[in-house]
Chains A and B, each alone.
Chain A
């Protein structure tokens, strides 16, 4: 894996491509359907997002003294946080290391969906849901500038890695080439 840009340690931000198209990786990936990421296309996998949001909203509203704008902000931020961790932080497949031989170890769930194809229906839904939730939350926060800024920033942070240009790219801060964490598979 080579790092784009200057390779001196003075670089604050570098972009590193991960994954690969080597023959072994392609063969390992093609041997099985990736059931870790296939479920986003199954029946009910889209509906579960609004259902979980509604359940979360109800649970947050139960807290006494909760205002609607705080409640919607909390729900918005929690959904973005959980979906970020699930789709863009954790890499690899948490079972069956023999079947795929580590071919997906560097890929997040987003990059595994639909075998890396872009602009697929599931990806479009997963982009629209946080946007819709953000719009609802801005309505209920009455466009308060502070809350708007928080929600908007969070939305951008979550939407940024979903861009097709960032497919299999990692943004690293103060990256030192040659330093590895030592773990072959990602940390929990």
Chain B
């Protein structure tokens, strides 16, 4: 029985607080389920009557029976009013409008498909539905845009206030430690030596964690459930003792997710890629059961490596089960004592761990500053190794494609010029840029239009754009063959598990598109060998590489959906970064980057930003946002920031909401120190002129 769509229109204007998107944990027994279903029916009836009686501004009350209110399962009994469609459990094509969710923008699209449009293939709460072809953009490097990081400075008062804030926090922290150890020794037992034993933890090393981070601990490590797609379901929690411990309240909040690395939106529990992963579990089980060199290599591994190599346009690739370990095991295999590694200032911890394990000498050059790199190169090459002044065995320059804290791309064209001149080896870590950047999604080489075979070693991860896990190394076949024998991960670490491999294979094939299978030519020597299958870069994946049992839906197979996802991501990234700049915020990074860091500077404003966004009362009709705040010591002292991660799963309406919320919070917290007042736009102007903004320089 179909429920009429709510006739109260958008009650959003009058809803002052957040939606009743609060649900409890699933019931544990049938009796509980039936009882809660009856309660839900009563609720729905009561609400229907209340709505027809009076148009009072509805405060979203948590009903007395809401404690037991459970989301129903897809097949609800026919006579129930509460035929909800909780996004994690129903079939993707039912947009059953419900009394409580019909105007929840997190679950129901703002512009739902009409009967003329094809049915949506994904749940709106996991991957937003957006049919508007205007909201698309192709990400590629515009000649002439400067890649040198240009950091605007806020007024001096903000910087001085930041220093004074840290001074206060540190002074108060030291005072509390001092008096606490003397008056409440029970709480500090682990930090003080006793009975001849040293302290369990060093109170000095943990000072920042205990005295600064703990104060805002409720903004970090929030417990969640379900896929981190367009929206994420969080367990609400409270702390009775100032963030030392947390208690779950039993309710859940669905929030718009701008904090997960989900660039192409493949973090879905439904859809063709997820179905393929499920099928692989039935066929292969859960584990590869061994290291690669010792019976852990399956046909899935060979296929995935061949596919990755073709995706990137290089000769061969190796796939490792952990992204961090890819760097930390490959770098020691490539360089050793007597080699020089020139690493960017802001490289990831995995690169630094790998370099330190290798024993090679390392020097840091200023972030993305090719002049600094050249100066260090000339100095190191002319001086040679320290003390002996012998020439270096190898010089390896390690950069990242897209830096996750800064949102900047590596200056690859200038780097290639330097490479031709000084003849060093180049290692590009494309953890964030692979799959997300470039007109075909092939990473920074695609973005800049550079031949990927010119880069010696391409490294990347599958965590961010493909919804999988693990990392890869790609390059010449000689190099990869040797790496497979000396890389520790191949010898000792477990191989990538089959469902993860299938997820990355299917996601990668969706981005590339799959070419229809060719007839095998007469006289082909070895059709099993993937190396003989022809491929032109960038192009669709040859069907012969993919496992025969993997049946992707036609939209994914043809590459149309992959292409749409890429263009949606490019539009969202550009829109958000341009929009925030026009609103007056200081934004780091390049305009095409899906990572948008917004500078906050003052440590006190960070938790306020995070909590205001989550509380969803920044403007009428706001939704909760879950954001990532980063401060010292993960960033330099004065540049605390909030880092937004755009995704193809967001719609333009979501970015509009984010812009409105940021605008309001920015006014409250005095964060707008970017462009001067007369150049700023209002948020309505930004939203109306979105397409123009994206195509603007």
Contact = CB atoms under 8 A, between A and B. Distances in A.
Interface string A41-79: 011110110011000000000000000000000000000
B637 A188 contact: no
A88 B198 CA distance: 25
B205 A188 contact: no
Contact of A31 (B167, B208, B356): B356
B636 A35 contact: yes
A99 B348 CA distance: 11
Nearest to B349: A99
Most chain B CB atoms below 10 A, which of A30, A43, A187: A30
16 contacts: A27-B359, A30-B361, A30-B362, A38-B636, A39-B638, A42-B159, A43-B159, A44-B156, A45-B163, A48-B164, A94-B208, A95-B205, A95-B633, A99-B349, A185-B205, A188-B177
Contacts of A43: 153, 156, 159, 638
Nearest to B158: A44
A52 B167 CA distance: 10
B446 to A, nearest CB: 31
Contacts of B619: none
A32 B348 CA distance: 10
A183 interface: yes
Interface in A87-141: 92, 94-97, 99, 101
B203 interface: yes
A184 interface: yes
Interface SS, B side: mixed
B657 to A, nearest CB: 34
A33 B364 contact: yes
A36 B208 CA distance: 12
Interface SS, A side: loop
B35 interface: no
Contacts of B199: 183
A38 B635 CA distance: 11
Given A33-B345, A42-B636, A92-B204, A27 B163 contact: no
A36 B633 CA distance: 8
Contacts of B141: none
Contacts of B632: 35
B352 interface: yes
A44 to B, nearest CB: 3
A23 B345 CA distance: 21
B362 A27 contact: yes
Given A95-B205, A188-B177, 12 more contacts: A30-B361, A31-B362, A38-B637, A39-B638, A43-B153, A43-B156, A45-B163, A47-B160, A95-B206, A95-B207, A99-B352, A186-B204
Contact of A185 (B153, B177, B204): B204
B633 A183 contact: no
A31 B352 contact: yes
Most chain B CB atoms below 10 A, which of A27, A36, A38: A27
Contact of A47 (B156, B174, B209): B156
A44 B160 contact: yes
A5 interface: no
A183 B364 contact: no
B504 to A, nearest CB: 29
Interface string A1-39: 000000000000000000000010001101111011011
Contacts of A32: 352, 364
